[in-house]
Amino acid sequence: MDFSLTKEQEMIKKLAGQFALEVLETVAAELDESHTFPIENFKKMAALGFTGIGVPREYGGTGGGAIEEVIAVNEFAKKCMSSSAILSIHLIAPHAINKFGNEEQKQKYLPRLTKGGELGAFALTEPNAGSDAGAVKTVAILDEDTNEYVINGTKCFISGGSRADILTLFALTQPEKGLKGMSAIIIEKGTPGFSIGKIESKMGLAGSETAELIFEDCRVPASNLLGKEGQGFKIAMQALDGARIGTGAQAVGVAEGALDLSVKYAKERVQFGKPIGTLQGIQWYIADMATKTESAKMLVYYAAYLKDAGKAHTKESAMCKLNASENARHVTNMALQIHGGYGYMKDYPLERMYRDAKITEIYEGTSEIHKVVIAREVMK
């Protein structure tokens, strides 16, 4: 088995690493303090081709697949989790349209979501439909006279929802069928009847806005239906399989960033006349952090490999997300312990990284839901 990256992947890794160091790291603390969405940085990502990863070049993308996405998201997360999350979540929209959209939809939306620098979002969660996605209540009823869907309902906790130009919305087009009546619909920013509600104040990822979306007799053309009526749940679950790999990459990235800082600090911090890195207790912390992070990374890459190969990867996506997110919490916690009082201060990035890491155990499916998914796949 070959674990090496191709020349193109090495170039992406180098470019993403430089961008993270020169652009993202310099504003990471400011974004966290000011709760500012880094729209200019997102446009820079688009100019460099990151927002088109996994989309064919004929639609403005840069090609590649899940492995290329993992590389970029991972490098970004080492320096700024908010920016990493923005890219990872954005990519769900163009990937869904590329896979399930018709040619007209691909021509219309993909260039805008890739080289055009427009932001995408994935609108599934509702106040009573979190882990239980089948409890969605938002409806989209076809008005046959105008050939438009009339949408009513509320979405919550939508990452980037307040800033997104193009959303993939999940609603019941045939409410009487329940889950089998769910469909995916493309909605553009500024559509009458679509408004932004509450912007959430969060524990972490302060640079990535999370919003409530409100639909009141919002009308969109029937041609905006993604796939077929009743395919919404299938589209959502397949999209989440990919999104979980992206979350795993975020979690590995923040763990690697925390580990790098810990190694540097352990070599420089002198106590009792010698660097604390010479103490066996600190060395064991470092060894544990490094081993678990490398293991998590391999599982993320394996899930990405399976996705790119067109093989079933539901189990592996859930496994990599569960493992990497729990490791991110563990490693950032150990890194804080190594840094002692300094790590607890906002002058150091670890306090932010510790808060940011926690969300990886919650969004795109909680750890508990992933255990259900894994068990179901193993036992079937």
Q: Is residue 340 part of a domain?
A: yes
- What would the 3-class secondary structure string for the chain be? CCCCCCHHHHHHHHHHHHHHHHHHHHHHHHHHHHCCCCHHHHHHHHHCCHHHECCCHHHCCCECCHHHHHHHHHHHHHHCHHHHHHHHHHCHHHHHHHHHCCHHHHHHHHHHHCCCCCCEEEECCECCECCCHHHCCCEEEEECCCCEEEEEEEEEEEECCCCCCEEEEEEECCHHHHHHHEEEEEEECCCCCEEEEEECCCCCCCCCCEEEEEEEEEEEEHHHEECCCCCHHHHHHHHHHHHHHHHHHHHHHHHHHHHHHHHHHHHHCEECCEEHHHCHHHHHHHHHHHHHHHHHHHHHHHHHHHHHCCCCCHHHHHHHHHHHHHHHHHHHHHHHHHHCHHHHCCCCCHHHHHHHHHHHHCCCCCHHHHHHHHHHHHHC
Range of the domain at 170: 120-230
Do residues 54 and 98 lie in contact, with contact meaning Cβ atoms separated by under 8 Å? yes
Choosing from 95, 113, 131, the residue where a domain stops is 113
- The 10s digit of each residue's pLDDT in 174-231 is 999 999 999 999 999 999 999 999 999 999 999 999 999 999 999 999 999 999 999 9
Q: In angstroms, rounded to a whole number, what is the distance separating the alpha carbons of residues 320 and 296?
A: 7
- The 10s digit of each residue's pLDDT in 319-346 is 999 999 999 999 999 999 999 999 999 9
Choosing from 62, 93, 113, the residue where a domain stops is 113
Q: Is residue 169 part of a domain?
A: yes
Identify whether residues 22 and 62 lie together within a single domain.
Answer: yes
Identify whether residues 298 and 256 lie together within a single domain.
Answer: yes
- The 10s digit of each residue's pLDDT in 230-262 is 999 999 999 999 999 999 999 999 999 999 999
C-alpha distances out from residue 69 to 32, 89, 92, 137, 242, Å: 24, 11, 11, 32, 10
Question: Among 18, 1, 2, 69, which Cα is nearest to 300's?
Answer: 69
Q: Is residue 149 part of a domain?
A: yes
Q: What is the CATH classification number for the domain harbouring 226? A: 2.40.110.10
pLDDT(1) > 90: no
Q: Is residue 139 part of a domain?
A: yes
Specify the pLDDT at position 2.
Answer: 81
Do residues 269 and 89 lie in contact, with contact meaning Cβ atoms separated by under 8 Å? no
Q: Is residue 341 part of a domain?
A: yes
Identify whether residues 12 and 87 lie together within a single domain.
Answer: yes
Mean pLDDT for all residues in the chain: 96
Identify whether residues 27 and 161 lie together within a single domain.
Answer: no
Identify whether residues 147 and 266 lie together within a single domain.
Answer: no
**How many domains in the chain?**
3
Q: Is residue 200 part of a domain?
A: yes
Per-residue b/e over 125-148, b at no fewer than 16 CB within 10 Å? bbeebbeebeebebbbebeeeeeb
Q: What is the CATH classification number for the domain harbouring 352? A: 1.20.140.10
The pTM of this model reads: 0.95
pLDDT(170) > 80: yes
Q: Is residue 154 part of a domain?
A: yes
Specify the pLDDT at position 130.
Answer: 86
Identify whether residues 268 and 177 lie together within a single domain.
Answer: no
Q: Is residue 2 part of a domain?
A: no
Identify whether residues 221 and 280 lie together within a single domain.
Answer: no
Identify whether residues 327 and 250 lie together within a single domain.
Answer: yes
Mean local confidence (pLDDT), 45-65: 97
Contacts of 52 (CB under 8 A, 6+ apart): 46, 60, 61, 62, 94, 113, 114, 115
What is the phi-psi region of residue 364: left when phi exceeds 0, alpha when psi lies from -120 to 50, beta otherwise?
left
Cβ count near 325 (within 10 Å): 31
Q: What is the CATH classification number for the domain harbouring 54? A: 1.10.540.10
What is the phi-psi region of residue 349: left when phi exceeds 0, alpha when psi lies from -120 to 50, beta otherwise?
alpha
Identify whether residues 136 and 104 lie together within a single domain.
Answer: no
Identify whether residues 257 and 134 lie together within a single domain.
Answer: no
List the catalytic residues: 364
Identify whether residues 225 and 291 lie together within a single domain.
Answer: no
Residue with tokens 């688009």: 46
Identify whether residues 64 and 177 lie together within a single domain.
Answer: no
Q: What percent of the chain lies above the pLDDT cut of 70?
A: 100
Specify the pLDDT at position 212.
Answer: 98
Residue with tokens 């088109």: 52
Question: Among 190, 181, 180, 154, which Cα is nearest to 169's?
Answer: 154
Choosing from 230, 255, 285, the residue where a domain stops is 230
